[in-house]
Amino acid sequence: MLRATFRLRVHLFSAVVPHAKLFNGGGPLTEEELGVANAAIAERDEILHMSGLKSAVNSLLTVDSPHKRRALIKAMGDSMDVLRSELYKKSCVDVNRRVQIHEAIMAAGFYQRAIDMNVLKGEAVRFVLNHYNFDVRRDVAITKAVHDVLLSKEGASLDSDQLIRDLLLLERRLYGKYRFASTGGRRWLTLSVELSDIKTKEEMNRLMNLPSIKEEGNFTLSVNGGEKLWETLVLTPNEETETSFLEMANLHSTVKKSDFTYTLRVQKPLKPITFAERFKEALLHYWVIWFSLWIMFFMVDEEIITLVALIFLKHRQTQIMHEEAKKTKGKVYVATSTGRFG
């Protein structure tokens, strides 16, 4: 992942910063590593030519005197200022361009602090992690683009596919197998996509089968279907060949073991019901209805019998009165209630 050559394109940050080792004196890059860094910068010359990053990186071979150190620190700082100003331009709307500018800022900031003898040990690594966590994660243009690409079911374009690949490679470089560690109270699959957004097995499989994630994500997805009704999906970032920046800063010791993986429990699809089971269910349904009616009748049988008897007696008494009135040629008056008063 991190071994770049002249023929193999890698993301900018890993090419310019091939290792996170801190140093005191001497050149931080070998001639071979410097050649790879120059090739990566040359590929993005349209973006970086005004920043002076290339000339600053070329000076990394010889930083053996205080004067050269001070000059290089200033050159890296000036390069960062130019790159930051580029991010604030209204014309800078291309997300791939913005990601590469952020990577260049992280690389320049790393070397600016790494060669400064007055800076605390590990400050260069912390700068890189902080820039990604605060500046890149808050870049709305990038986060929205990634969120829309990964959580929509439409196919990714070549540009968006390259964007996801570069971000995955960068996160692997920075965090290694600790990528799922909580950041700001949330855990991320990648930039702007929370692990909690993945709620179904279909969604998990769809994401893992995306070409960019499948080839550059370095994830392992295991499925445990031992339970009768539930399936457990475990997503794990694999170990990297290079020491991550998080480990270099010794911040991985605070990561909880439960944050090494993401576990998703999903219900297994129900088996289709057979005819015999449907027949049994129908019989049970009608038996419950009949039993309920039977219980209801015998719980109120005395009230029902009394009411029926009163209705019958009243009807019989009215018939007798009509028969007597007919014999005597009289009239029968029956009092009724109209429901009105006054």
* pLDDT tens, per residue, the chain with 342 residues: 444 433 334 678 999 998 876 554 445 678 888 888 888 888 887 778 788 888 888 888 777 788 888 999 999 999 999 999 999 999 999 999 999 999 999 999 999 998 888 888 888 999 999 999 999 999 999 999 999 888 876 667 778 889 999 999 999 999 999 999 998 889 999 998 999 999 999 999 999 999 999 999 999 999 998 888 899 999 999 999 888 999 888 888 888 888 999 999 998 887 788 888 888 989 999 999 988 887 777 666 667 777 788 888 888 888 888 888 888 877 777 666 565 544
Residue 24 has what pLDDT? 47
Residue 11 has what pLDDT? 78
Distance linking the first and last C-alpha atoms of the chain: 98
Rounded Cα distance, 263 and 221, in Å: 10
Rounded Cα distance, 174 and 252, in Å: 11
Q: With residue 235 as reference, give the H or E element that holds it.
A: strand 230-237
Rounded Cα distance, 294 and 260, in Å: 60
Rounded Cα distance, 208 and 210, in Å: 6
Coil, helix or strand for 87? helix
Q: State the DSSP code for 336.
A: -
Query: Long-range CB contacts (< 8 A, 24+ apart) of 71-78?
Result: 72/111, 72/115, 73/112, 73/115, 73/116, 76/108, 76/109, 76/111, 76/112, 77/108, 77/112, 78/52
Predicted model pTM? 0.75
Cβ atoms within 10 Å of 58's Cβ, excluding its own: 14
